[in-house]
Structures are given as C-alpha cells and as structure tokens.
Amino acid sequence: MNILKFIETFTDDSLMRSTGSRRDSFNQFGNIGKTLAIAAIPFGLSTFANKALAKDITATPATPIGALQFALTLEYLENEFYAMALDSGVIPASENGGRDRKVFEQIAAHESDHVKFLIAGLGGPASANFVAKPTFDFTVGGAFDPFGDYPTFLALAQAFEDTGVRAYKGQAANLISAPDLLTAALQIHSVEARHASEVRRLRGLKGWISNDERGAGMPSATQAVYNGEGVTVQAGFNTAASFGAAAGSEAYDEPLTTQQVVDIANLFIV
C-alpha cells in the first residue's frame, strides 16, 4: 500500500470524528495496517498522552505505533527548536551569502512537515494514538542560551540532528512488521542525516562522525549523543582494517535505544 494512500485512509473524516473507544481506534489502525498486530498495541500509552503533571517523557513500547509516537515527540522537539531560533533572530541572515539562514529555513520546513506527517499517520489529534507536544526548555534551566548565542544554537542543532539519525535507526526493528510505516520512517531518517551532515559542516566538522567524537565546540553534556558511535566491527567484519578506525566508524552510523534517546530528550523537557 502506498504510504500516502495509507495516511489518506487513516485521516479520513469518519476516523477524525470518531469518538469511539481506544480499542475501536486501534482496530481501525489494525485494519488499515493489516500487519499491525492488535495484541501488540501499547495500552499503557494513555499515561503518555495524559501525563499533564509529569515532567519527563517515557519510553514508548516497541511496536509500530510506539515507534511513530516516539518519532513524533522528537519531531516536536526539533520543530519547536528551529521555529524559535528563526523567530529569535539568532541565525545570521547575511553571512556566507545567507547560507545559515537558508539552511535552517529548509531544515525547519522539513521538521514541520514531519510533525504534520506523523500526526496524520497516527490518526490526527483526535486519535487515541495521538501524543501531545511536551513543554520544552531548550535552555535546560538556563544552562544554555541557544536563542541568544549562535554557536550554542549550532551545537544543539548538531546534537538534535545526530540524535535524530540514531533514534530513527533504533526504531527500525519496531517497524519491520509494518512495511509502509518502515519506508516512511526510513524516508525521514535519511532527511535527518542530510541535515546532520550540513549542520556539522556549518560548524567546520566533517559531515560524518569519526569514532565516538562529539566534535570541537560541543558541550560535554552532548557526549551521550555520540557514545557508542565508534564501533568498528559490523557483523564480524573489521571496518577499521583498510583505512583505520576513524574511517571504519564513519562508514556506519549506530542506533540509539528508545531509552537512550528518551534520556537525551528529557534534558529539554519540563
């Protein structure tokens, strides 16, 4: 099934208006997705959507819907971060032939599209599968000044994009039973990687990650984004054999687990 057709079906009026039980909604998801097993649906997720008083997000269950909900939360974070940055004026408008502004306008547009795409994929805001946007604090309680200090903004942008790449990769296995959703997630995943490469290059780094280095100028708090990236054995093959460990690790990006990403995201959620 074509993913756009899938989304279309899933967001049709009857579904949007549906005030049925969560189980009904899940059944509709199951009927449409076919391969989405109802038995695997995360019933504990209501705590995620309704945790008005809770501060942190929690890991979603390892299901296709859980993966999409998790992805949506990350896209909320990126979308709000870039929208606030563009509004704040922290991004220089004229330097490098206007490059920085053009780059972040393009990235912001993609993150906004991803939020809309994933909300639609989850059945729209009225769906029981919908998750609300958390409240973000990108200053982390005043520790950072990303909307007043451009290098700080760039450093966080790099951390978010490199995290995004690893986060989607970590969800791939959760989507293997839903081929259309998997394809859509892969199509977002590679966009995040294009973003990450460009942001890194704007910061004077290589577009790819050498060993587990966070790169010059990155706050030590961002090291969690890079831990585990220095792997040089892939399915028993030594990727460092021909050109050394840096090249061997650069040639492969590594996944982060849901919990690892949740821990990173929670730094910015109040």
Partner 1 sequence: MKNEVKIHEVDPSLNNRRSFLKLSGLALAGAGLVIAGCSNNDDNDNAPEDTSLPGVRNGIFDLGSGDFGVLTYAYALEQLEADFYTKVVNSSNFNTTFNDIERQVLTDLYHHEVIHRDFFKAALSGALPNPSAQLLPTLAFNYGALNFNSRTDVLATAKALEDTGVAAYNGAGKLIKSPDYLLLAGKIVSVEARHASAIRSLINPNSSDFAGDDVINTSTGLDVAKDPSKILPIAGGFITTKFTAKYLP
**Sole window of 48-56, 81-89, 142-150, 191-199 interacting with partner 1 (rule: CB under 8 A):** 191-199
CA–CA dist 49, 119 (Å, integer): 13
**Sole window of 131-139, 142-150, 239-247, 257-265 interacting with partner 1 (rule: CB under 8 A):** 239-247
Q: Which is nearer to partner 1, 156 or 181 (CB)?
A: 181
Half-sphere exposure of 36 (CA within 13 A, CB side): 25
By CB under 8 A, is residue 78 in contact with partner 1? no
End-to-end CA distance of the chain: 39
Residue 182's alpha-carbon distances to 64, 110, 126, 170, 226, in angstroms, are: 8, 18, 23, 12, 24
Contact pick of 98, 125, 148, 217 for partner 1 (by CB under 8 A): 98
Q: Which is nearer to partner 1, 183 or 259 (CB)?
A: 183
Q: Which is nearer to partner 1, 65 or 128 (CB)?
A: 65
Are 132 and 50 a contacting pair, CB within 8 Å? no
Q: Residue 65: which of 129, 157, 115 has the closest Cα?
A: 129
By CB under 8 A, is residue 186 in contact with partner 1? yes
State the DSSP H helix or E strand holding residue 41, giving kind and residue range, or none if neither: none
Radius of gyration (C-alpha) of the chain in whole angstroms: 19
β partners of residue 269: 136
Query: How many Cβ atoms sit within 10 Å of the Cβ of residue 44?
Result: 11
Write the binding mask 37 to 66 for partner 1: x where contact by CB under 8 A, - elsewhere.
------------------------------
Q: Which is nearer to partner 1, 75 or 146 (CB)?
A: 75
To the nearest whole angstrom, how small is the minimum distance from the Cβ of residue 263 to partner 1? Answer: 21
Query: How many Cβ atoms sit within 10 Å of the Cβ of residue 24?
Result: 13
Q: Annotate 213-248 with b (16+ C-beta within 10 A) or e (fewer).
A: bbbeebeebbebbbeebbbbeeeeeebbeeeebbeb
To the nearest whole angstrom, how small is the minimum distance from the Cβ of residue 109 to partner 1? Answer: 7
State the DSSP H helix or E strand holding residue 233, giving kind and residue range, or none if neither: strand 233-234
Contact pick of 173, 217, 227, 259 for partner 1 (by CB under 8 A): 173
By CB under 8 A, is residue 11 in contact with partner 1? no
Q: Which is nearer to partner 1, 233 or 270 (CB)?
A: 233
Say how many residues touch partner 1, by CB under 8 A. 60
Write the binding mask 133 to 172 for partner 1: x where contact by CB under 8 A, - elsewhere.
--------------------------------x--xx--x
Contact pick of 155, 163, 189, 262 for partner 1 (by CB under 8 A): 189
Residue ranges binding partner 1 (CB under 8 A):
4, 96-99, 102-103, 105-107, 109-114, 117, 165, 168-169, 172-173, 176, 179-180, 182-184, 186-198, 201, 206-208, 234-237, 239, 242-243, 247-248, 250-255
